[in-house]
Amino acid sequence: MTNIKLDWQALQPNNAPYQALFNSVAELSPITMDRVQPRLHSGLSLFCQTALRQPFMLLKAEESDVYLSLLSDTISSLLPKDCPDIGGYYQTEHQTITWHPSGEGLFAPIKRVVYCEWIEPEQLFGNLYTYQEVIQLQPGLIHQVNGGVLILPLRTLLSQPLMWVRLKQMIIQRRFDWLSHDENRSLPLPIPSMELDLRLVLVGDRFSLEELQAIEPELASSALYGEFELDMPFHEEDDLAVWCRYVNGLIQQQNLPSLSADAWPELIRLAVRYTEDQCRLPLDIQWLQQKLEAAANYHQEQQITQHSLQQAEDNRTWRHGYLAERSMDEILKGQILIHTQGSVIGQINGLSVLEYPGHPTPLGEPSRISCVAHLGDGEFIDVERKVELGGNIHAKGMLIMQAYLISELKLDQPQPFSASIVFEQSYGEVDGDSASLAELCALISALSQQPIDQQIAVTGAVDQFGYVQPIGGVNEKIEGFFRLCHYRELTGHQGVIIPTANIQHLCLSQDVVNAVKNEQFHIWAVGHVSEATPLLTGMLYYGSQGHDSQDYDPQDHDPQNHEPQDHEPQNDPQKEHLLAIIRERITQANIQERPRLPWFLHWLG
């Protein structure tokens, strides 16, 4: 097996080929929504057609002013120029109110598209006032946009169900009826209804859309659907040029300083870190505005430079760094035991991402995972699950890992060893399957009695054939272990094992990149558990026969930016391997456990 060590160039996006583009970005014109959101733009175009009788559209997007304003501007540009003439006015005479249809008057539409982040029934439907026996009708938002499109956040309507029911019925019936906002009181006198021609765009996140789907299944299934895509693919220079023009448009809209040529690579690095994918760039307006506005505080010569972006990011990291510093102090003081030196049987450094309630930034931390094996009935105990601190996904990963190892051993006799696996000093719920590779390696170590190098941390999920699958938060996990090794002094032998499939998600801090470049820290990408165990134990996983159960070839994975691991164990046919050691221990344990027979019955043995 060939263990793969990543070169430092693979740890961040490569922006060198696009320098000519960065030098000319300032000359590129902004682009419209149809270039970066073609599916959403197509849905909005269809919704705005006068021939379409569908008055509702559901749209997945943030319920914030910046997105609602963008939708309003886009819909305004797509609506046909000729609007229906449905205005009019109410006339009051002797306690009698009469409706007079007309294109002009108090209730004539004054806007084609209207949106708001929050609205009350009085603001939406209008109100009726009585002063000295004089009745006055105040138009609401629904009157101002009659004949056009109303854009509302779903949370506004879901939190006011009566308002939603009334609005829905009026839109479907195409009639506006005056109703009392106080359920215990009626209107002082009848008011005629009026014609209503209104289309409604409901904007919300997936949870809000799910709630609406539960209470309005027919509407949800018949309404048009669209969603604001939060990222776009990035495979060639043309994709990057479109994204740069998109950012230029945001800069102009917000009257921010322009980006210098050296700022674009840094913004792309931050963007890739945000999407966690070197092949995708973010379209999230709020995130981009936040980064650009923060960097504008450090702009130089009326431009946002690379230094501006770095200063803003360093300041953000420092402001959010209290919990990370406290956690690191606990490890360095020995209150939380994490070993980064020596070798231990059945103990491994796993990697976790912690999300503290109310804290905006996930934190990567190493976790000590231990496994003990002893004579028993072959049961593998997940301690976290036993004490109800393990989530369902974590339990699934444990069962998959156990099934793989039992299948891999191909035993023709009972398994005499029981084992228990636990996250040491973990007092909250553990979930996710990203530790299953580390747990499997710890179990193999405990069964084979071969120590694991504590200078290496592991993350990755495994399937029932031992292949390593991608996980989330890979950058935070690597940086969390690197930070601990850096505080304890880098030895040149420390590093992290990650899944091969996570290479495209790497966008590490410059400190980690520099350490890898100087051979002070290492990152290995593996595609199968048989590639990870030799790094951790110094012993081959399989013997000279190769893979016992699956024809696994590490060359099936992309070898770009990889180089062979320096201290790879040699595939010596005479050298003992881990699976053989485990099988031998099982055989010996079964022999020793045979019942002792009287001397005259020894021939039965």
Q: Which residues are catalytic?
A: 434, 477
Q: How far apart are CA 142 and CA 571, in angstroms?
A: 77
Virtual CA dihedral for 600, 602, 603, 605, nearest 10 degrees? Answer: 150
Write out the E strands in 343-460.
343-344, 347-354, 363-375, 380-382, 417-423, 452-453, 456-458
The phi, psi pair for 470, rounded to 5°, reads -70, 155
Question: What is the DSSP annotation of 10-72?
Answer: GGS---GGGHHHHHHGGGSPP--HHHH-HHHHHHHHHHT-TT----EEEEES--SHHHHHHHH
Q: Cα separation of 503 and 525, whole Å?
A: 7
> Residue 103, Cβ neighbours under 10 Å: how many?
11
Return d(Cα 151, Cα 228) in angstroms, integer. Answer: 15
Location of structure tokens 């553990």 = 430
The token pair that represents 461 in the structure block: 């999920």
If DSSP codes are grouped into helix, strand and coil, which group holds residue 182? coil
Instruction: Report the 10 Å Cβ neighbour count for 133.
Output: 7
Number of neighbouring beta carbons within 10 Å of residue 500: 25
Distance of alpha carbon 429 from alpha carbon 186, whole angstroms: 54
Give the three-state DSSP class for 248: helix
Task: Count Cα atoms within 13 angstroms, Cβ side, for 487.
Answer: 16
Find, among 494, 391, 557, the residue nearest to 2 by Cα.
557
Burial 145-178 (b: 16+ CB within 10 A, else e): bbbbbbbbbbbbbeebeebbebbbebbeeeebeb
How many CB atoms are located within 10 Å of the residue 290 CB? 13
Do residues 297 and 253 lie in contact, with contact meaning Cβ atoms separated by under 8 Å?
no
Of 212, 283, 235, 303, give the one whose Cα is nearest residue 26.
303
Separation of alpha carbons 90 and 105, rounded Å: 9
The DSSP secondary structure of 90-133, one letter per residue, reads EEEETTEEEEEE-SSSTTS---SEEE-S---HHHHH-EEEEETT
